[in-house]
Amino acid sequence: MASRLCLVLAALLALAAPACADERPPIVVELFTSQGCNSCPPADAYLGELTQRPGLLTLAFHVDYWNYIGWDDPFARPWSAARQKGYQKSLNERFVYTPQIVVNGEAQGIGSERATIEALLRAAAAASPRAHPAVTLRRRQDGALIVDVGAGDSPPRAPADIWLVGFDRMHHTRVLRGENEGQTLTDYHPVRFYRRIGAWPGWSLELVVPAADAVALGSGEVAVLIQTAGLGPILTASVLKDANPSR
C-alpha cells in the first residue's frame, strides 16, 4: 500500500512539475515610435499584431523628437525619449532611431523588420526564466492603488526599479501635417502614464500609489515592470487589469 501511495504521489508531482516550470512572466515588447515618422506605420501595425499574441506585453512609447517636422504626435512624451536614450546607453547603441523595438530590456532591432524581431522573441522565449517576484494590485477605499511585490528566489545585485505604466488599447488619428500627412494612423497600446514608483531589493514589499496618480493613469490598462537598475533586463512584468474596475 505504501509503495502504491508513493507511486501515485510521484505521478502527481511529475504532472505538476511542467505546469510550474511553464509559469513565467510575459515577454515585454517596447516599440519606440512617432506619428511624425513615415517609416513607423508598418512597425505600428506589426505591434498591433503582437498585442494579440499570448505571452507578450506590448507597449508603444511615442517619442517627441520628431515633432519639429510639422506634426505634434498627441501621444509623444519627453519621458518616452528619455527611456529610449537610457536603452541607447544600456544596450551600447550608437544612436536612437524610430521605429525601434526593445525586447525584455536586453535586445533591440528595427521595429518594422519582422524577421529580426521574431528572432528576438524566440530567443527570449527560449531563455532560462529569471527568478522573479509575483506582482499583484488592489485598490484602497480612498482610491489609492496598492502594489504588492513578492520575494524572489535570490536578491538582485542592486535594487531593481519598479515602473508603473498606464496605456490605452488603441487609437485612430488623422494626421494633418508632416511626413504622414493625410493618413489615418492606428496606434496600439500607446503609453500615457510612466513613472518609477520604487525599488525592489529582493524581498516582499508594498507600495502605495496615491489616489491622484491613480486617477492620472486614466481608463486604460495598467502594468508594472520590475527592471534591473539602469534600464537593464526586465525581471518581471504584470498587466493589472483590475486597476480600473469601473471601466
Q: What is residue 20's three-state secondary structure?
A: helix
Give the β-pairing of 27-33 and 56-62.
parallel
Distance CA 103, CA 98 (A): 15
Per-residue pLDDT at 61: 98
**More reliable by pLDDT, 246 or 136:** 136
Closest to 105 (Cα-Cα) out of 27, 4, 204, 41: 27
Which amino acid belongs to residue 53? R
Instruction: Give residue limits of the domains in the chain.
Output: 26-239
When pLDDT is averaged across residues 128-135 and rounded to a whole number, the result is 83
H-helix or E-strand spanning residue 48: helix 41-51
73 phi, psi to nearest 5 deg: -60, 120
* Residue 236 pLDDT exceeds 70: yes
Per-residue pLDDT at 158: 82
What is the chain's Cα-based Rg? 20
The C-alpha cell at 51 is: 498585442
Assessment of whether the complete model's pTM goes beyond 0.85: yes
H-helix or E-strand spanning residue 6: helix 2-22
The C-alpha cell at 126 is: 527560449
**Mean pLDDT of the residues in the chain:** 87
Question: DSSP strand E in the chain: where?
Answer: 27-33, 56-62, 100-103, 107-110, 135-139, 145-149, 160-167, 170-174, 184-188, 191-200, 205-209, 221-227, 234-239
Q: What is the pLDDT of residues 181-203, one digit of tens each?
A: 999 999 999 999 999 999 999 99
**More reliable by pLDDT, 132 or 47:** 47
**More reliable by pLDDT, 139 or 20:** 139
User: Considering the chain, what percentage of its residues have pLDDT values greater than 90?
Assistant: 71
User: Considering the chain, what percentage of its residues have pLDDT values greater than 70?
Assistant: 88
When pLDDT is averaged across residues 157-179 and rounded to a whole number, the result is 95
Per-residue pLDDT at 241: 61
Task: Name the residue with cell 534591473.
Answer: 228
Distance CA 147, CA 140 (A): 11
